[in-house]
Chains A and B, each alone.
Chain A
């Protein structure tokens, strides 16, 4: 059962990633990213990371993906045709450097595959038994990882102010 779920969700993630690569409509690519992120979240659950899976869904699907779709819609080229208001929104993006991009990716995947299969990991230590990780994560965040936690908070504040300042419309007439 676990095997079926693992391979099913892996296939979901990889097929939707390939769909992002091959589609020409940027809107469909964003929806493909949605499926890929959900597949990766399910893989997190199968690896015993329940809190991280929820975080993935909240932050990526609820935040980043919505932001990306906003970006796609705000930067699409203007449609000059007279019946533009009634036509479906097709935001087409031409792919370029297809040969070199895919060649580099395939070669990189081959190198990864060779490394992983040749590495022959011997892992010491216990394996995560099925219990919630929230308690451990919370205790660790508030004790030994307190400094990175605070720095992440400051980073988020800086990004909030910086993004608002950058995106501000300085020339309202244009």
Chain B
């Protein structure tokens, strides 16, 4: 039986790495990769706590809905990325700065 603290530390590490990926990549899809990592880390927390709720499994249900919303988010984000690419010919978030001018 693994203590719950170990799950939480692994999830915290995954979340931090995901944040670093989302900040450092100069590509919109790279940012999406980081977001997926962060969502997975949150799900890991929910599942770890759900181990102590075997009758209702509320944490696992919540994680299931998080997975659904993540799938929706990534489809819409990729559609937007494709539109942005056909308009600007780049998906570097720093170069799409027309509103700043």
Contacts and interface: CB of A to CB of B under 8 A. Distances in A.
Given A17-B14, A37-B40, A121 B4 contact: yes
Interface string A116-131: 1100010111111100
Nearest to B5: A116
Contact of B24 (A43, A98, A174): A98
Interface string A133-161: 10011001100010010001001100110
B98 interface: no
Contacts, number: 236
A74 B85 contact: yes
B96 interface: no
A71 B81 contact: yes
A56 B37 CA distance: 12
Contact of A108 (B2, B16, B56, B81): B16
B21 A133 contact: no
A85 interface: no
Nearest to A129: B54
Given A44-B47, A52-B47, A156-B68, A166 B54 contact: no
A49 B47 contact: yes
Interface residues of A, number: 85
A140 B56 contact: yes
Given A68-B32, A109-B13, A116-B12, A141 B61 contact: yes
A174 to B, nearest CB: 7
Interface string B1-27: 110111111101111111111011111
B17 A112 contact: no
B24 A21 contact: yes
A60 B67 contact: yes
A6 B75 CA distance: 32
B56 to A, nearest CB: 6
A32 to B, nearest CB: 8
Given A46-B2, A166-B76, A21 B9 contact: no
A159 B47 contact: no
Contact of A33 (B15, B33, B81): B33
Contact of B17 (A77, A98, A105): A105
Which 8 A-B residue pairs are closest in the complex by CB-CB distance? A101-B23, A112-B12, A105-B20, A166-B79, A109-B16, A101-B24, A159-B72, A167-B79
Given A47-B50, A141-B61, 19 more contacts: A14-B10, A18-B17, A21-B21, A26-B29, A29-B30, A30-B33, A51-B60, A60-B70, A71-B78, A75-B81, A75-B82, A105-B16, A106-B16, A108-B15, A116-B8, A125-B52, A133-B60, A140-B58, A167-B83
